[in-house]
Amino acid sequence: MTLLQAIILAVIEGITEYLPVSSTGHMIIGSTMMGIQQDEFVKLFTVAIQFGAILSVIALYWKRFFQSIDFYTKLFVGFLPAVIFGLLFKDQVDMLLENVLVVGIMLFVGGIVFLFIDRWAPGGTDTGEQPMTYGKAAIIGVWQCLAMVPGVSRSAATIIGGMTQGLTRKHAAEFSFFLAVPTMFGATVKSLYDYIKDGGELTSEHLQLFAVGNVVAFVVAIIAIRSFIAFLSQYGFKAFGWYRIAVGGTIIALYLLDVPMQML
């Protein structure tokens, strides 16, 4: 993987991590189109640059992270289902990460859901700060587990999960951002530990790619979060639904026609 390819993947990560379009799915698509060999370091890189995206949430909402212990305990409750599910099904999830067809199908199906989600789960009304209970946090955490299938989208699953619990789009999105911090940090640490444990090496070139990737992901994610909140509050999910259908449908068609994605 070259430095330019790393920057492109980091831009994809920064744009898509907090949008309901699946960052993992888009990075699989991007790396496939660029012909990047899916070795263990590339898999680690696509997870590790999430750290930059994590820092963007902390930078934008830093005051919220100094609220109370209750804020952190609810995040822990929401984070716990992903820990349990991830430990139980890690090998199966890793296998899915190499399958671009799964990404296409999940993007397409999720797009159809998005066309109707504002009717199925309209959420609450924006009447100020809405209370997050431990029960709501746990249910949203269960929804988050769906995102381990590439193409589903972590932010989509958790935002929809929040809306089913009566949160507005804005408050559901913000809790999704907060929940991303322990979830993505845990995934990054676990992936790095597994990589080193299995004999993987981190050269100076690797560290340079990590550094550049995280900086790019941080800057792009800040812009994406600010834009997304305003757009989602005003327009809802339909635009994302049509986008997912278009991208997912294209991937499925190319797969069925046996067209190598590197030719795009």
Residue 190 has φ and ψ, to the nearest 5°, of -65, -45
Mean pLDDT of 175-182: 91
pLDDT at 125: 53
- Average pLDDT of the chain is 86
Domain, as residue range, for 183: 3-263
pLDDT at 50: 87
pLDDT at 263: 42
The model's pLDDT over 208-257, given as tens digits with 9 standing for 90+, comes to: 999 999 999 999 999 999 898 888 878 888 899 999 999 999 999 988 88
Mean pLDDT of 42-71: 89
% of the chain exceeding 90 in pLDDT: 38
Helix (H) or strand (E) holding 116: helix 100-120
Specify the DSSP class assigned to residue 257: T
The model's pLDDT over 126-169, given as tens digits with 9 standing for 90+, comes to: 555 557 899 999 999 999 998 888 888 888 899 999 988 888 88
pLDDT band, residue 74 (cuts 50/70/90): very high
SS3 214: helix
Contact 106, 151 (CB under 8 A): yes
Contact 185, 55 (CB under 8 A): no
pLDDT at 190: 85
SS3 199: coil
SS3 168: coil
Q: 83 or 233: whose pLDDT is higher?
A: 83
Q: 126 or 186: whose pLDDT is higher?
A: 186
Specify the DSSP class assigned to residue 258: T
Rounded Cα distance, 31 and 9, in Å = 7
The model's pLDDT over 93-107, given as tens digits with 9 standing for 90+, comes to: 767 666 788 889 999
The model's pLDDT over 14-28, given as tens digits with 9 standing for 90+, comes to: 998 888 888 878 888
Rounded Cα distance, 157 and 134, in Å = 18
Which pair of structure tokens corresponds to residue 189? 């640490």
pLDDT at 59: 93
SS3 8: helix
Total count of domains within the chain: 1
* pTM of this prediction exceeds 0.85: no
